[in-house]
A and B are shown apart, each in its own frame.
Chain A
Amino acid sequence: MDDDLDLINRTRAGERTAFNELVLKYQKPLYSLLYRMVSNHDDAADLLQKTLVKAFIGLGSFQQRSSFKTWLYQIAINLAKNVYRDRGKARYVSIDDVIISRDPRTLDGLIKKEDRLLLRKALIGLPEKQRHTVMLRVQEGKKFEEIAEIMGCSLGTAKANYHHGVQKLKTLMG
């Protein structure tokens, strides 16, 4: 956090190397989060750039109430929400089509692929806040306190969203 503050202050002062360092430090975790949210490289790369640009343009408004990483996650999730809403579910194809068209190889591979696709589909079927909470908790390994900060809700709400989300996933996958 102190490292981040130093880099942020130097970036605010116009130091290009500090700017580069911040981007290099956070681009991978942000890309990972965004990829999980939008499920394709092009959108994830585009959102990553937009997130970082928005963060650096608004760096003056960063008030250090949360960590810089949490602040970046908030921006990324808000931008991804818009893409997600615009796109809807139109780009998701049926599981059968995917399994037939892509090299199925072994039966084990087929089952795993089917499970993954089912899981992805089930995740998409979750309400937005539950989906994001589950992704942040399970896939990003965030603590509930961090999730509450990123999602802008209370700790109790973050936990409730997680439990409801997981329950629904179990029902859909069961």
Chain B
Amino acid sequence: MCNDTIIKELLAPYQEQKLDKPEQGLVESHLASCEDCRLELSLICMMAKERVPDPDDAFWAAMPGRVYRAVQEQQREQKNFGIAWLLDRVTLPRWALASATMVAMLMLSWFLVRPMPEMVPSQGYEFADEIMPGDSVHVAELSGDELITLDTWAGTALVSIAKEAEQAIGSVPDADIYEEVAELDAGEGELLLQMINERTKEVSS
């Protein structure tokens, strides 16, 4: 096997007759004594002569138009690569997609315009109304006059309760009675009201 890479690189241009005179002479003198390169040259010639059939003129003439239309089509497809592309790939029929979209929009609308839930009143003390026993009124709902009345009543009623408590425990509480009441939780408040009601009934009877 011949390893003369310079000659081997010249074989293809030799076959194409693209070498100048000195190079051509170099190749020919090498070929005269190298069977391997002669075989390679014949192979190159055979490959080079492998003919490509020429399609008819109509084929060549139509090609620019075909390519242009294909380019335009692809560019259109790229522009439509959005909702239509997604819809094409979803297996559901379009009417089902439209229905699902309507349902989703209705649900969203209902969520946005639904009636607001009733506000839960903040926890506070409820006082029994003297005029309408059994009906409870929140302190925040009382008018100014009602609050004064309540204050007056509490001044007498609670002081008497405080005195009873003092007698029961044998000492006077340090904190103001109003502060004490304000610190009671809902259950304790209920209990206090019950006691006040019972005491009021006793006093009135």
Contact = CB atoms under 8 A, between A and B. Distances in A.
A69 interface: no
Contacts of A137: 12
B60 interface: yes
A71 interface: no
A70 interface: no
Contacts of B68: 16, 19-20
Interface of B, secondary structure class, is: helix
B52 interface: yes
B27 to A, nearest CB: 15
Nearest to A140: B48
Contacts of B1: 167
Contacts of B108: none
Contact of B63 (A48, A144, A173): A48
B64 A23 contact: yes
Interface residues of B, number: 30
B55 interface: yes
B80 to A, nearest CB: 15
Interface string A45-74: 100110011001100000000000000000
B67 A138 contact: no
B200 interface: no
Nearest to A120: B50
A18 B52 CA distance: 27
Interface in B41-65: 43-44, 46-48, 50, 52-53, 55, 59-60, 63-64
A119 B47 CA distance: 8
A112 to B, nearest CB: 9
Contact of B52 (A16, A19, A20, A31): A31
A45 B67 contact: no
B39 A174 contact: yes
Nearest to A16: B68
Contacts of A129: none
B67 A49 contact: yes
B5, B39, B66, B67, most chain A CB atoms within 10 A: B67
A116 B46 contact: yes
B202 to A, nearest CB: 99
Interface string A92-112: 000000000000000000000
A49 B53 contact: no
Contacts of B5: 159, 163
B67 A170 contact: no
B43 A173 contact: yes
Contacts of B48: 138-139, 141
A157 interface: no
Given A166-B40, A166-B43, A49 B70 contact: yes
13 contacts: A16-B68, A19-B64, A28-B60, A35-B53, A36-B50, A49-B70, A57-B75, A115-B46, A139-B50, A163-B5, A166-B40, A166-B43, A173-B43
Q: Which 3 A-B pairs have the closest CB atoms?
A: A20-B64, A23-B64, A52-B67
Interface of A: 16, 19-20, 23-24, 27-28, 31-32, 35-36, 41, 45, 48-49, 52-53, 56-57, 115-116, 119-120, 123, 134-135, 137-139, 141, 144, 159, 163, 166-167, 169-170, 173-174
Given A23-B67, A137-B12, A163-B8, 6 more contacts: A20-B68, A27-B60, A35-B53, A49-B67, A119-B47, A169-B43
